Amino acid sequence: MANSYSAEQFKEAILAKDIAMLSRAITMIESTRADDKKRASELIDSLLPYVGNSIRIGITGVPGVGKSTFIEAFGMALIAMGKKVAVLAIDPSSSISHGSILGDKTRMEQLSVHPHAFIRPSASSGSLGGITYKTHETILLCEAAGFDVIIVETVGVGQSETEVSQICDFFLLLMLAGAGDELQGIKRGIMELADGVVITKADSGNAEKAKAARNEYARALHFMPPTTSGWIPQVKVCSAYQNEGITEVWEMINQFAQHQSTNGFFYENRQQQNIFAFHRLLQEQLRDTLLRKPGLNEQIKSLEQQITEGNISPYTAVGLILN
């Protein structure tokens, strides 16, 4: 058991904005123990009347693009406006990115100690679907604890973006200017998910290049299929070092939220987020239930043997396990 508090004790503490208890509750959500899972879902259910009052922002970009520096500047700017900011960092591919999110202790120095900020790395093991499901629940806990801007940060290595975009209201892509072809290194599919693009490090010798890149991306986005909500993704430049262009990003997100609220897409997207979480959880629980089947490993080994010998097809083998 991650701790001995009841769901009711957690609920009261989280609603009273007790950050230590919020942290413990997230640990409980991430736990794979059956009793923790049961208490976690009781807790989430009891908090449902208190969630939803935030803007959920997904932020992605390749390692080195300046995500943590941007989030530090952005988060501090939001706090200065009176907001409370939670940052949930997902690193599903720490072997690929060398743990760039979790490894670097100097990330977000000011934000990480600010009483109006909460920074939490998400579990880096397990299936990505499981992580995003738990991140969805973590978002709900943070909302109940009074955080009104939730940032979900992910390393842009091509795996996690789709899923993260499905648990957020606004999906922001950070990009670098220059480096030859302006559009190199960015997968078209990710670009299509973006509600906004920000060219980072637009300072010193890089400012002109950043503006050129902004025009280039704006043109590229122009040729993308229009979003169903009618929102036209915007491209901004910023320098986190010089604190320039940071509030403009917030203005863009506000415009987006207003646009989506007016035409009903904001609410619709939230419902979609819940449905997505439901499917993720269902998949995870089905897998867990199946993996607890007695003698499963032996059966898998025997079926592998039969497949190798050409006695049965993989399809039939799966059928045998499920039956």
**239 binds ligand GDP, rule: CB under 6 A:** yes
End-to-end CA distance of the chain: 33
Q: Rank residues 78 and 281 by Cβ distance to ligand GDP and give the closer one.
A: 78
State the nearest-atom distance from the C-beta of 185 to ligand GDP, in Å: 13
Q: Is 67 in the site for ligand GDP (CB under 6 A)?
A: yes
Residue 9 structure tokens:
């004790």
Amino acid in position 76: M
Find the binder of ligand GDP among 58, 66, 75, 146 (CB under 6 A): 66
Of the candidate residues 31, 54, 60, 68, the single one contacting ligand GDP (CB under 6 A): 68
CA distance 122 to 108: 16
For ligand GDP, give the closer residue by CB, 141 or 164: 164
3 state SS of 119: strand
- Contacting range for ligand GDP; rule: CB under 6 A; set: 52-60, 183-191, 199-207, 304-312: 199-207
Q: Does 63 contact ligand GDP by CB under 6 A? A: yes
User: How far is the C-alpha of 13 from the C-alpha of 16, rounded, in Å?
Assistant: 5
Task: Considering the complex, state which of residue 9 and residue 69 has its C-beta at the smaller distance from ligand GDP.
Answer: 69
Choose between 67 and 280: whose C-beta lies nearer to ligand GDP: 67
Does residue number 240 form part of the binding site for ligand GDP (CB under 6 A)?
A: yes
Applying CB under 6 A, the span of 46-54, 59-67, 186-194, 295-303 interacting with ligand GDP comes to 59-67
Length of the chain: 323
Report if residue 75 touches ligand GDP, rule: CB under 6 A. Answer: no
Region 93-122 residues binding ligand GDP, contact defined as CB under 6 A = 100
Stretch that binds ligand GDP, among 13-21, 235-243, 278-286, 292-300 (CB under 6 A): 235-243
Tokens encoding 183: 């559009």
Give yes or no for a contact between 172 and 217, defined as CB atoms under 8 angstroms apart: no
User: CA neighbours within 13 Å on the CB side: how many for 129?
Assistant: 12
Contact indicator for 86, 124 with CB cutoff of 8 Å: no
Determine, following the binding rule CB under 6 A, whether residue 241 of this chain makes contact with ligand GDP: yes
Q: How far is the CB of 312 from ligand GDP (least distance, A)?
A: 47
Burial of 306 (0-12, 13-18, 19+ CB in 10 A): middle
For residues 107 and 280, which CB has a smaller minimum distance to ligand GDP in the complex? 107
The DSSP string of 28-71 is: HHH---HHHHHHHHHHHHHHGGG---SEEEEEEE-TTSSHHHHH
Give the residues lining the site for ligand GDP (CB under 6 A).
Answer: 61, 63-69, 100, 200-201, 203, 239-241
